[in-house]
Chains A and B, each alone.
Chain A
Amino acid sequence: MQIIKDGKIINDDTRHLADDEPPTGGRFTVSFARWQTERENLRQAEGTVGVRLKGGDELASIALDLPRLEPVVVEFPTLADGRAFSLARLLRERFGYAGEIRAHGDFIRDQVYFLARVGVNAFEPVEGTDLEKLLPALKDFSVNYQAAADNVELVYQKRGK
């Protein structure tokens, strides 16, 4: 499978495990709920484990685990569920998470720019999405008014020069 990561299309074999699927080794993710209950076992499992978050999940309860979790996936059950934007930004800004944050699910091209600004650096859209067409969305805008997780130069800073 392919995804976009750090501005490039790359091959990716991360597996998103259902709650009853045993760890497979390699790179895999589990739901937030499963991580909470099976944390110890999953740590012992072979491979690298990441976690999938959705709106409502309490970030503080995995704060200490974050350095060892990758990727952290923010889920889009529907494209209108904008909680992922806040979760991603909190991960970067409040919890200092430096690893891969991946948007997964029903987001669309026109959210990609915003997602990148709040700290998402990997994009796994619904199957069948043409990644080549998604890629330019990272550059939809060249000016930004407000601070976010991407630390770009803001309009008022440019003006101040």
Chain B
Amino acid sequence: MYQYDQYDQTLVNERVAQFRDQTRRFLAGELSEDQFRPLRLMNGLYIQTHAPMLRVAIPYGLLSSRQLRMLAHIARTYDKGYGHFTTRQNIQYNWPRLEEVPEILADLASVEMHAIQTSGNCIRNTTSDHLAGVCVDELEDPRPWCEIIRQWSTLHPEFAFLPRKFKIAVSGAAKDRAATQVHDIGLHLVKNEQGETGFEVLVGGGLGRTPIIGQTIRPFLEKKHLLSYLEAILRIYNLFGRRDNKYKARIKILLKETGVEQFTQLVEEEWSQIRNGLELDEREIERVKSFFTSPDYDPNAAADKSFQATLSGNPAFSAWVRVNTVENKSPGYRAAFVSLKAQGIAPGDMTDAQMDIVADLADRFSFGELRVTHTQNLLLADVKQADLYELWQRLDEANLATANIGKATDIICCPGLDFCSLANSSSIPVALEIATRLEDVDYLYDLGDIRINISGCMNGCGHHTVGHIGILGVDKKGEEWFQLTLGGSSSNDASLGERLGPSVPKAEVASVVDGILKTYVELREGQESFLDTVRRTGIAPFQEKVYANH
């Protein structure tokens, strides 16, 4: 993975010093709350229901074991012993004290981490495919490009005070696992007719109040022009994006109001004026790429026979392998998920002890690295098949081996009312109750791949609009109600879920979901997935079932 050199480290250190001074001035009364807000936000610090919330950047979801140990240390020392992994591959701490945040940032800087631009109206952490570099369907590893974007966007002087936040995702594989179509900018590595690799550029996707699927504004961009093109988009957005209404300030609204053709023309005109001065330096590209070479795989890994033996003797292990591991392009290796969706645990939460354990496991079994997925799980990408059994045992002891990746209990869920001051409703208890009803694993596996996403309010941090089943908390005269949608997806076939009908009270959400799943079982044809079934039948049969009983 990428390693800081003296320049990267200096910048992060200087940022810590700057924030230390900002915090001091705020606590001394030299900065008003209004003046401090954009500054703390640009260092990932929110004021939440209980305490400040600190969001730490995990660039494109990639972590070393050393970094994960530091995250455990922070959870233990400054928080209540856990952290929460988010849909943007970051981690949040819900209980730090403001006075201690400069210390936390200094600790992070010591392991090449930071919280720069994890909130605020600026370019946020760039996200990517959690299987980058190891999946079999990849055209090119997107991570060097993510790192190049990370450096370019870090403290970009022109784009630190945008109309609204700005999110970029990059995918290099045939299957889109980075939800690129629901980002402000989505980049796909593609080949053109001449066989050259470049980027397809999508703009204007996003969730939240006005969910929109992104549109392609350039089918092919030469790699050397990546930053000039991003810069052109950002400049057009910075100059013309709406600033009169924060709900209409995202680039998706600008794109919608201008029309994709005119918007594209504005970008292209701007780009034509700056592209020659901002070409990427070939040597710098090569330097960054050199950090993302394959690890030192054992060429004999596939010769191992023990794996088959352990598989056939142990149904629980074999279920875990089937559900929680995926192919790695290197023979004899698999990528293994660490499920953060155990029964009774808030989705994405992890204790300091679990983090330490997984850091050790990463050292022993996966070249000291791991990834955070946008579905709020972790991944050990390079595990030898011969090691899977022991890895499973260790994960199981730590309650991290629930074999449910991609299944109905692998729920994406935002923090909701329990932590978030913007929430209308508590999303976590709803997620937990839905999962409780799906304890029968035979039934769970029979349901196949289903994405259930829950957000505690319209802001959509739980990506409810792109859930196969989306659940949104709404406020009805001070009570918590939930609006359900069906048929959303953030993958290649991205689509927004369709509203099932009137919202339902909190106490009934789990049984409504239960009814939806049962209806699917009745309706499906052969091996048809939930999403395909909904797309074939439409939502009417589900409506009938749900609202007949309620």
Residues of A bordering B, CB below 8 Å: 55, 79-83, 85-87, 89, 93-94, 108, 110-111, 113-115, 117-118, 140-148, 155-160
Contact = CB atoms under 8 A, between A and B. Distances in A.
Interface string B149-165: 00111111111111100
Given A141-B18, A146-B153, 8 more contacts: A81-B243, A82-B121, A85-B238, A86-B239, A108-B35, A114-B160, A141-B155, A145-B151
A148 B157 contact: yes
B158 A89 contact: yes
B294 interface: no
Contacts of B38: 79-80
Q: Specify which of A80, A117, A140, A157 lies most central, judged by the most chain B CB atoms within 10 Å of its CB.
A: A80
Contacts, number: 96
Contacts of B397: none
A106 B227 CA distance: 30
Interface stretch (B5-13, B171-179, B257-265, B309-317): B5-13
Q: Specify which of B38, B158, B163, B273 lies most central, judged by the most chain A CB atoms within 10 Å of its CB.
A: B158
A82 B238 CA distance: 7
B493 interface: no
A20 B157 CA distance: 35
Contacts of B51: none
Contact of B160 (A82, A89, A144, A147): A82
Contact of B121 (A80, A93, A110, A117): A80
Interface in B1-24: 5, 7-8, 10-11, 14-15, 18, 22
A93 B162 CA distance: 20
Contacts of B227: 146
Contacts of A145: 11, 151-152, 154-156
Interface of B is mostly: helix
Interface in B258-310: 273-274, 277-278, 281, 283-284, 287
Nearest to A108: B35
Q: Specify which of B7, B152, B161, B227 lies most central, judged by the most chain A CB atoms within 10 Å of its CB.
A: B161
- Which 10 pairs of residues, A with B, have the shortest CB-CB distance? A82-B161, A117-B157, A114-B157, A156-B284, A145-B151, A155-B7, A85-B158, A143-B11, A143-B7, A86-B238
Interface string B528-549: 0000000000000000000000
B156 A146 contact: yes
B11 A141 contact: yes
B111 interface: no
B221 interface: no
Contacts of A83: 238-239, 243
B248 interface: no
A79 B227 CA distance: 26
B243 A55 contact: yes
Contacts of A142: 10, 14
13 contacts: A82-B121, A85-B238, A93-B274, A114-B155, A140-B14, A141-B14, A141-B155, A142-B10, A142-B14, A145-B156, A146-B157, A148-B157, A157-B281
Contacts of B139: none
A86 B7 contact: no
A95 to B, nearest CB: 11
A140 B14 CA distance: 7
B39 interface: yes
B276 to A, nearest CB: 12
A94 B273 CA distance: 8
A69 to B, nearest CB: 20
Contact of A143 (B14, B239, B273, B278): B14
Contacts of A79: 35, 38, 161
B224 interface: no
A117 B156 CA distance: 9
B235 interface: yes
B22 A110 contact: yes
A85 B159 contact: yes
A154 B151 CA distance: 11
A147 B235 contact: no
B434 to A, nearest CB: 39
Contacts of A115: 157
A146 B7 CA distance: 13
Contact of B5 (A81, A141, A148, A159): A159
Contact of A82 (B8, B39, B155, B159): B159
B161 A111 contact: yes
Contacts of A110: 18, 22, 39
Contacts of B31: 108
Given A85-B238, A94-B273, A159-B284, A80 B278 contact: no
A147 B277 contact: yes
A82 B22 CA distance: 20
Given A143-B10, A159-B5, A85 B157 contact: yes
A147 B278 contact: yes
Q: Specify which of B18, B157, B161, B287 lies most central, judged by the most chain A CB atoms within 10 Å of its CB.
A: B157
A143 B14 CA distance: 9
B14 A86 contact: no
Contacts of B18: 110, 140-141
Contacts of A82: 121, 158-163, 238
Contacts of A80: 38, 121, 161, 243
Contacts of B158: 82, 85-86, 89, 114, 118, 148
